[in-house]
Structure 1
Amino acid sequence: MSLHDPDEVRAHLIAAAAAGHALSYSELLEHLGYVFSRPKMRALCKTLGVVDETAAARGEPELAVLVVRQSDGLPGQGWWVSGGGSAHGYAGAREGPKAARFIKKLQQKTFDYWAMADLDASG
């Protein structure tokens, strides 16, 4: 397992999306066979960028928005700085109730998309 493998990270995120839940950074790292550390998290974040580029090219909703901090359930600073919020017209704070509502809406779009894809695949 590798946190540098976009296909593997994507598979874990699609499974989480189809199940309708987000993953904390530490949960995703654990699924990939790692213990949380800041360097591992930073490496994972780079891979999440590749995962989202692939999703965009396929016309799919982003998946990185499903990876959140355990403390508040929001994506980390890297997601916001890389344009996560601004790409969707959000210009508010990165923390707090308004940010939480915005993230929940984005996550719900991803959950809905992958729940439907899962239904389509199962026939």
Structure 2
Amino acid sequence: MKRDWDLIRTLLVEIEGLGIGQHFTPHDFAGHSSEAVTYHIHLMGQAGLIEWANHPWNGEPVVIAKSLTLAGHDLLDIIRDGDIWSTCKAQLQERLGGVSYEALMQFNLASRQQRTAALNGNAAFK
């Protein structure tokens, strides 16, 4: 199964919105099968983006998402805005041929450095 960054983004937003004591159980979601959602929750857990666990349900293990980690919040801060996300994906696809977690973090750092330099060049902020 291929990694789907749009699904990861959608899941991060959904998991962030959970209340205390709530959890997200994989199901058909945002046009994706429960198998795809399960796979992506597993990937997000491996990457340290979410707190997650396997729970037995009718004798089968079910992966659940509990909350975002600090890294998950940081990533969501980068990709939350739809326009910025579309631009970021397009630029990374063009430059690197795809999107990776490391590339997203580097893109964010470069963007922040550009904004800081622009602010420092503006006399109103000196």
Q: How would you bin the TM-score normalised by the shorter chain? A: 0.3 to 0.5
* More contact order relative to length (CA 8 Å, sep ≥ 6): 1
Q: TM-score, normalised by structure 2?
A: 0.34
Which structure has the larger Rg?
2
